[in-house]
Amino acid sequence: MTALRTFRFGFFVGVRDFTSFWGWKSWFGGWMVQMIAQAVFFSLLARLFESPDQERFLLIGYAVAVGAANVAWTIQSTAWDRWMGTYPLLVIAPSSLAPAVMGRTSIWLPAGVATTLLTLSFMAIVFDLALPWPAAIAVVPLVVLTSLSTYCFSLFLGALVIRIPGARNFIHSVITIGARAFCGVSVPVSFWPEGVQIVVQVLPITHGLQAIRLLFDEAPATQVLISASLELAVALGWITLALIAMDRMANAGRADGSIEFV
């Protein structure tokens, strides 16, 4: 109950932080315009090659990828708290650091879901993307699942970045660019060597994006569920590692005093 209460208050702090960082005008007029422009650019690039299949592939891929990039701001968010001197106060508490950090950073999860759904809706209208009805309703939980998996992975990386906050932007850039290159956003996963294909099986986006593609292709429900189940397994794996990493970081900070005001 204490952990849930800590998470709830952490979430309220995260919401206040988010709204001080983004107003509705700046979020829609700044962030969303930027994300939609990225998705439109790559979709138009495919249109130059007169390839409807490639256009559809990139359209769906980048609509999901821009939302994941938003969720990955979790990495920076964990480092911001250290710059502000929050962690010394949390580390001295006789409890896990995880509920406070997860509550504080979880605001990026709904932000990422909204980014993907709005981008996908815009692209569907502009590029006349066929939405299989009523199966298209399942896009929402699949986007939530993919964003959740990305959040769990970002939380793990954030736990590592707490010790090296100066690397936060570099790691975010590497992760977002890497996901677009290797996880089936820009090209099929099968395009890459076998070693890369094996690695991306345990990364977020890969299976969730595949499930969304299968849904749009009106594939059998069992295929969609298999890909979704794999994405859920990836999420559970990364959240487990994130919780372990956060506790180890906190214990190390208590032992050597390395978590201090920076």
Q: Is residue 262 part of a domain?
A: no
pLDDT-above-70 percentage for the chain: 89
Q: Judge whether 178 lies within some domain.
A: yes
Q: How many domains does the chain have?
A: 1
C-beta separation of 157 from 241 below 8 A: no
Domain enclosing residue 157, as ranges = 2-256
Q: Is the per-residue pLDDT at 39 higher than 50?
A: yes
Q: Check residue 73 and report its DSSP letter.
A: T
Is residue 115 within 8 A of residue 66, CB to CB? The reply is yes
Has residue 144 been placed in a domain? Answer: yes
Over the range 236-252, which residues count as b (16 or more CB within 10 Å of their CB) and which as e?
Answer: eebbebbbebbeebbee
Residue, of 131 and 179, whose pLDDT is higher: 179
pLDDT at 78 over 60: yes
CB 260 within 8 A of CB 88: yes
- To which H or E segment does residue 111 belong? helix 108-126
Q: What is the pLDDT of residues 183-212, one digit of tens each?
A: 999 999 999 999 999 999 999 999 999 999
DSSP state of 131: -
The answer to whether residue 83 is domain-embedded is yes
Q: Are the CB atoms for 242 and 159 separated by under 8 Å?
A: yes
Dihedral angle at the C-alpha atoms of 1, 9, 159, 245, nearest 10 degrees?
Answer: -10
Cβ-in-10-Å burial (0-12, 13-18, 19+) of 25 comes to: exposed
In a domain, 261, yes or no: no
Tell me the longest C-alpha to C-alpha distance in the chain: 61
The mean pLDDT of 95-107, rounded to a whole number, is 82
Alpha-carbon span 115 to 34, nearest angstrom: 11
What pLDDT score was predicted for residue 7? Answer: 84
- Quickly state the pLDDT bin for 231 (edges 50, 70, 90): very high
**pLDDT > 80? residue 90:** no
Q: What is the mean pLDDT of the chain?
A: 86
What was the pLDDT predicted at 261?
40
Number of C-beta neighbours around residue 22 at 10 A: 14
